[in-house]
């Protein structure tokens, strides 16, 4: 009797702790960076559907028709000319990383003058370099260079590395806004840029893009971290010709 009672208690304790471990705080990732490296620029997920997957994220639009940033539940599109609009809910996305951002901790860094300084320092403040983090940073930049995208021909399957050499660059000065991004461990380098992928949107929602380089106005930078314990990869539908081709390019370390 005592034995049975004990094992029942143990079992229920065990199930409580297993349950706790299974609580998923996840990143929803659509397609893969290797797909982009191999010229797969079509997806079938819409902006409307992505809003169900997170209130915070980044990506691009089909045929690289603009850069994508999601913040506070809104999804924006940065057009080739640099203008920013809320994306039409029917627009489709070939690549994106989304999550519901809920800060676990904030860390204030000192003596951070440039984006480069920031990227060097960030790994040191992560509780683990082998886990995924959503990262949000509000800052003022004395100068900032953002990258955009130019729509590719619908038949073009040139890998993204080639297009990124001629991507539009938007240079901004004295601009306040938010970096929305992710830390992706090395083992995720085929899925997304690793270690970091950041997009930016200004507070006035007039400028945005892929973060390339910049200088901070204030050298004290507060970093908000949201540790994730789950990463869900969803691929475009099975008829996607891009996923049927043989891929030859995987430069997991490449930055764009
Ligand atoms: Zn990007």
Tell me the CA–centroid distance for residue 187 and ligand 1, in Å.
19
Residue 19 CA, chain-centre distance (Å), reads 28
Other residues' Cβ atoms within 10 Å of the Cβ of residue 186: 11
Tell me the CA–centroid distance for residue 68 and ligand 1, in Å.
8
Residue 2's pLDDT is 47
**Which domains, ranges and CATH numbers included, belong to the chain?**
26-242 (3.30.1330.80)
Q: Confidence band (pLDDT; 50, 70, 90) for 1?
A: very low
**DSSP secondary structure string for all residues of 211-246:** EEEEEESSS-EEEEEEEESEEEEEPPPTT-HHHHSP
For the full predicted model, state whether its pTM sits above 0.85. Answer: yes
Q: Confidence band (pLDDT; 50, 70, 90) for 239?
A: confident
- Please give the DSSP secondary-structure letter assigned to residue 72: T
Tell me the CA–centroid distance for residue 256 and ligand 1, in Å.
7
Cα dihedral 163, 166, 170, 173 sign: positive
* Cα-based angle 70, 47, 224 (whole degrees, multiple of 5): 20
**DSSP secondary structure string for all residues of 76-95:** EEE-TTS-EEEPPTT-EESE
Tell me the CA–centroid distance for residue 211 and ligand 1, in Å.
7
Could you tell me what percent of the chain has a pLDDT over 90?
A: 83
Cβ-based neighbours of 64, under 8 Å, separated by 6 or more: 41, 149, 150, 151, 152, 160, 163
Tell me the CA–centroid distance for residue 25 and ligand 1, in Å.
22
What are 71-127's pLDDT values in tens digits? 999 999 999 999 999 999 999 999 999 999 999 999 999 999 999 999 999 999 999
Tell me the CA–centroid distance for residue 111 and ligand 1, in Å.
26
Tell me the CA–centroid distance for residue 229 and ligand 1, in Å.
22
More confident call, 11 vs 131: 131
What are 175-226's pLDDT values in tens digits? 999 999 999 999 999 999 999 999 999 999 999 999 999 999 999 999 999 9
Tell me the CA–centroid distance for residue 244 and ligand 1, in Å.
24
Q: Nearest Cα to 41, choosing from 57, 58, 65, 69? A: 65
The CA distance from 170 to 155, in Å, is 27
Q: Nearest Cα to 234, choosing from 80, 72, 66, 94? A: 94
**DSSP secondary structure string for all residues of 142-196:** EEEEEE---PPPTT----HHHHHTT--EEEEEEEEEEEEEEE--GGGTTTS-SSE
């Amino acid at each position: 009797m005592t034995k049975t009672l004990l094992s029942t208690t143990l079992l229920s304790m065990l199930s409580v702790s297993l349950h706790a471990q299974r609580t998923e705080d996840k990143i929803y990732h659509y397609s893969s960076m290797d797909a982009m490296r191999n010229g797969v620029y079509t997806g079938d997920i819409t902006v409307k559907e992505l809003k169900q997957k997170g209130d915070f994220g980044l990506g691009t639009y089909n045929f690289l028709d603009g850069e994508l940033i999601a913040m506070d539940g809104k999804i924006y599109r940065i057009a080739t000319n640099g203008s920013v609009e809320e994306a039409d809910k029917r627009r489709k996305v070939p690549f994106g990383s989304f999550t519901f951002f809920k800060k676990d901790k904030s860390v204030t860094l000192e003596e951070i003058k440039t984006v480069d300084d920031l990227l060097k320092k960030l790994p040191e403040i992560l509780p683990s370099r082998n886990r995924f983090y959503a990262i949000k940073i509000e800052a003022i930049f004395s100068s900032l260079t953002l990258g955009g995208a130019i729509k590719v021909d619908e038949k073009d399957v040139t890998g993204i590395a080639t297009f990124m050499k001629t991507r539009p660059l938007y240079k901004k000065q004295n601009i306040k806004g938010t970096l929305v991004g992710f830390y992706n461990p090395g083992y995720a380098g085929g899925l997304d840029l690793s270690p970091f992928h950041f997009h930016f949107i200004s507070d006035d929602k007039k400028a945005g893009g892929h973060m390339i380089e910049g200088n901070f106005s204030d050298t004290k930078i507060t970093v908000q971290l949201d540790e994730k314990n789950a990463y869900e990869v969803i691929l475009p539908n099975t008829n996607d010709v891009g996923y049927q081709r043989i891929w030859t390019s995987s430069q997991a370390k490449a930055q764009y």
